[in-house]
Structure 1
Amino acid sequence: MDSIQTFYGLLTADPAGYAREQLSGNEQLVNVHRRYTTYIVERSRDASVDWKRLPKHEWHDRYRDDTKDVRAVLSKRLTHANSRDTGARLLTTAIPFWVEFSLMEECRQLISLALAIEVDFATHQRMALYAALGTSLTGARGPVDKNFRA
């Protein structure tokens, strides 16, 4: 009886780790990651559109809990060569998360990384990244010469 309680205790201690272990080496894990990424990209697009039309408090209530998911997908996608394009494109729609939650230094780091990657951005995406870079530099470091070049 005691071993059953220990087993369930391990499951509740790290349920995500347990799920990864059960799916590792399995095509299902790749599919889970793909669906998760697709969901977060769509959610980020919705947040970007809603950012322009919803009152600030309503936007915060709706998207506050998505920040950690956006971070997770960005960290995975921007650092793996075969998915950098997806990560960079997600970043162009995820800028409202960093601006609204005053995460300017993190925003600056991610945008700098995305701009350093060889990704063929559409003109409006590149412009949005440079505008966000300028905003993040001003927010994170104040008005310094480097900000004016962004």
Structure 2
Amino acid sequence: VLGLSGLLLQRVLRNPLAEPSTLGISAGAQLAMTAASVYAPFLMERSQGAIAFAGGTAAVLLVLSLTWRRGLEPVSVVLAGMMVALTASAISAALILANGDYLFSLFIWGGGSLVQQDWGPAIALSTRLAVGAGAALLLLRPLTILGLDDASA
């Protein structure tokens, strides 16, 4: 799923370095989940994916707003993304450390825990990937137009 999103980001932003990690999307998602775990745990019971999506969206909107005046230059976008990612990661780590045992499993998850009991998570991810790939194929023409520079468009 992250690979498909990275491909779409690279295409739309015309930036070969654009991906969820360099744009702060992953760190924004983890920060949203950490903050929701501390301040609104009832939200985590209902929709973890929506919380992570909202955090990632907020992070990428912040990056795009910081670099909009420069015309979304590739270097500016990556530098702003790294600043947002480092800031979000630092805040998330501070929240995890301040709340100790309660959030330690979230810290492990953010580092890339590979523990699985069954095929349920893999199947859930594969269906989401299939839906995302289908949506990307339906949006292929608009994405191609977005990938053009201003003079070609």
TM-score above 0.5, yes or no: no
TM-score by length of 1: 0.28
Instruction: Point out the structure with max Rg over C-alpha.
Output: 1
TM-score by length of 2: 0.27
Structure ranking higher in helix proportion: 1
